[in-house]
Amino acid sequence: MLNVFVSWSGDRSHRLAVAVAKWLEHVLQPARPWISEEIPKGKRWSDVIGRKLADYNVGIICVTPENRFAPWISFEAGALSKTLDDSRVCPILLGMEPGDLSGPLQQYQCTTLTRKDMLRLVLSLNDLLGDEKVRRAVVVNAFDKYWSVLDDTIRELSAIVMPDDAAAVRSVIGALVSGGMPEPSPGSEAHFSSGFERHALYDVLTSLAQRRLWVFGRKNRKLFDKDHWSFLKSLPGRITDGFDFKVLFLSPEAEEHTLKCAHRVPDFCDELRASMRWAVSVMQRYSIPVDDCCRAYKLCRSIAIMIADDAVVHAPVYFDETGHAKAMTGCAFSVLSCNSPYGRELEETFRSAWQGAEDARPVSRLAM
């Protein structure tokens, strides 16, 4: 039996995942595909995924132009790569070519949704069955019989014209440039409509970061939850090898107006201290040097920043009609290169906040 994990994100990707899973059961009968829509309501998504991956032999990732930068795709690709070797992770591309990919997905051997490529994929999956391998002629006959079913779905999904949300932006850029403004610097930037400060985003960043992880947060509670203890447990050895881990907390000793702006909860200072105590306890458990890695700032934060190696994830702080900061968990965010002009500004913003917090009371004492 061949357990096949099918990953997706977004409507077209989901419809493709369902079609591929059903089709594969007919073409290669020992295959047992599983897609994440089957997670029961109320179950933690990351927990279910983690347990499922332990039982799977191969992963198929359904990639479309609109989801190639999606956090879920990145997270599941990273989780698959930890569990399986690269030869068993198979992105299939709808409306894209392998050269269109960037980031972690680039490392895998991709499959385009052509008859030739899909047959090659099915035969390679059959090879993974070992003693249960189906005779090639039987696989090819089943493929020929059911190919039209999948091909119809591919054609239907390929014909869907996705809205070009960037058209308005391009028209404004064109008008500004023609009006005498300098052309914007080239570079890649991705925008996500939701998901900031979710566990899945931290999973991605802690998995990808090889040289540094900087977090300019407020309470940073989720970063120190058990979901990420494997990363934190590895930190002392990594720090010894040069890994740079920096976390900025909002100080409960900041000016009253700063604390009021940061949150409307009356006992917000108590929440800050409780989050710090929790972080300190977790870091001490794993022998992480708390006051080397954590500082407390007192300024009014206008942006939240997380930097993993040369990528910066950022989200603006929005305020309600009373002047209090709105909750950021799950909000929209953007990702861009630290080497871009704005990326360098964001990196400098973090450095300034870190240096400005140098003389504040240590986090280990603030947490008391």
Asked whether the beta carbons of 243 and 212 are under 8 A apart, the reply is: yes
Q: Does domain 189-366 have CATH number 3.30.870.10?
A: yes
Asked whether the beta carbons of 317 and 325 are under 8 A apart, the reply is: yes
What pLDDT, in 10s, does the model give residues 220-231? 999 999 999 999
Q: Provide block-wise average pLDDT over 10 residues at a time, the chain (368 residues).
A: 86 92 95 72 52 75 81 68 72 88 76 95 92 93 96 92 60 69 65 84 89 95 93 96 96 86 79 94 96 93 92 87 80 86 91 91 85
Place of tokens 């400060």: 197
pLDDT value of position 103:
64
The three-state secondary structure class of 282 is helix
The three-state secondary structure class of 341 is helix
Instruction: List, by residue range, all CATH 3.30.870.10 domains of the chain.
Output: 189-366
pTM of structure: 0.59
pLDDT value of position 151:
95
Amino acid at 252: P
Instruction: List, by residue range, all CATH 3.40.50.10140 domains of the chain.
Output: 2-158
Fold topology of 2-158: Rossmann fold (3.40.50)
* Measured distance CA(220)–CA(201) in Å, rounded: 13
Enter the tokens of residue 77: 């690709």
Phi and psi (nearest 5°) for 2?
-120, 110
